[in-house]
Amino acid sequence: MIIDCHGHYTTAPRQHEAWRAAQVSAHAEGRSPPPRPTMTDDELRETIVNGQLKVQRERGTDLTIFSPRAAGMGHHLGDASTSEGWATACNELIHRICTLFPRNFVGVAMLPQSAGVSPKNCLAELERCVTEYGFVGCNVNPDPSGGHWQDPPLSDRYWYPLYEKMVELNVPGMIHVSAACNPAFHTTGSHYLNGDTVAFNQFMTSTVFKDFPTLKFVIPHGGGAVPYHWGRFRGLAQAAKLPLLGELLLKNIFFDTCVYHLPGQELLAKVIPVDNILFASEMIGAVPGIDPETGHYFDDTKRYVDQLPLSDADKAKIYEGNARRVYPRLSGQITRQFAQAAR
């Protein structure tokens, strides 16, 4: 099985996105949000059959760990109640997709984060998604202010209630910022990669994994700048008299393969141990076009991984084994969903 650990519902129905716009407008005007729109199963099927499912089949992948659209999380919009209502609506859609396509998608939760609001606000929704929907992880936005970095760093005890709940539920988090409202940052060109790199550095200079030895995070987009500047981080850790990075972080931090050219994948596989790399494409995501140098889609990352000079056993870890290990609930959820599909 080839498991893509990083997929977002970027093809959600128009009425879902229209409701979000109306919800945000209502908050700005001091009104209650309108009722959520009705979306039939057939409408949801159409968005997937002609979108993610079609691409899965074309590219030879089997299952996507699926979450709401990252840029659409919009934690900087409205207030905590706005984020709660939006997260609930988005997670419900993900659950419906996983129920309609149980062999193809397993859910990951969007958290109702809001700038300046304690992550304690997210615990109930995370627990609901895991216990009621069977979700296997969550997305954690290190900057819910949308590019202004107003909240404490991930190393701060401010985040510990969320970490405690993640450990209790045995679910990892994927570090993922949302859209940037700071004009200094392009959302996908700089803000995403900034968030990945910043998170790694904050964890490196913290005691988070000493305090939570079983806590796990996936840093997407190949880790941002981290693999390319591995020597810099090793040197910074050494100067701070920290343990070697492998001992300090690599039992808890993992990287995905959302790197959109072969030299980048080759670098990732040379620098980061195979046991810490999970296959991902973020397909129908940030970089959907065709690379004129190859004639293939930039985000068809399986083509790059297939070309790496790795053994079949190592590729099997990247394609499946590491995801099952990093997401401890995944294998059980796959079994349950496949049994549902067989009924």
- Indicate whether 242 pLDDT > 90: yes
pLDDT tens digits for range 8-63: 999 999 999 999 999 999 999 999 999 999 999 999 999 999 999 999 999 999 99
Mean pLDDT score of the chain:
97
Residue 239, Cβ neighbours under 10 Å: how many?
A: 8
4: left (phi over 0), alpha (psi -120 to 50) or beta: beta
- Indicate whether 285 pLDDT > 90: no
- Indicate whether 209 pLDDT > 90: yes
User: What is the DSSP-derived secondary structure letter of residue 182?
Assistant: S
DSSP 262-297: HHHHHHHHHHS-GGGEE-----SSS--SB-TTTSSB
pLDDT at residue 67, rounded to an integer:
98
The rounded Cα 38 to chain-centroid distance in angstroms is 27
pTM above 0.95, yes or no: yes
Per DSSP, helices labelled H in 170-244 are 192-204, 208-211, 230-239
pLDDT at residue 143, rounded to an integer:
98
User: Which CATH number is 108-342's, of 1.10.1060.10, 3.20.20.140, 3.50.50.60, 3.90.950.10?
Assistant: 3.20.20.140
- Indicate whether 327 pLDDT > 90: yes
d(CA 98, CA 65): 10
- For the chain, give the percent of residues with pLDDT over 90: 97
* Domain coordinates in residue numbering, the chain: 108-342
Secondary structure class of 105 (helix, strand, coil): strand
Residue 121, Cβ neighbours under 10 Å: how many?
A: 18
d(CA 200, CA 130): 25
- Indicate whether 156 pLDDT > 90: yes
Phi and psi, residue 164, nearest 5°? -60, -45
pLDDT tens digits for range 288-311: 899 999 999 999 999 999 999 999
- Indicate whether 286 pLDDT > 90: no
d(CA 137, CA 107): 8
- Indicate whether 343 pLDDT > 90: no
* Sheet hosting strand 173-175, strand order edge to edge: 109-110, 138-140, 173-175, 217-219, 253-256, 277-278
- pLDDT band at residue 4 under the 50/70/90 scheme: very high
Rounded average pLDDT over 137-163? 98
- 201 compared with 343, residue with greater pLDDT: 201
> Among all residues, which ones are annotated catalytic?
282
pLDDT tens digits for range 84-113: 999 999 999 999 999 999 999 999 999 999
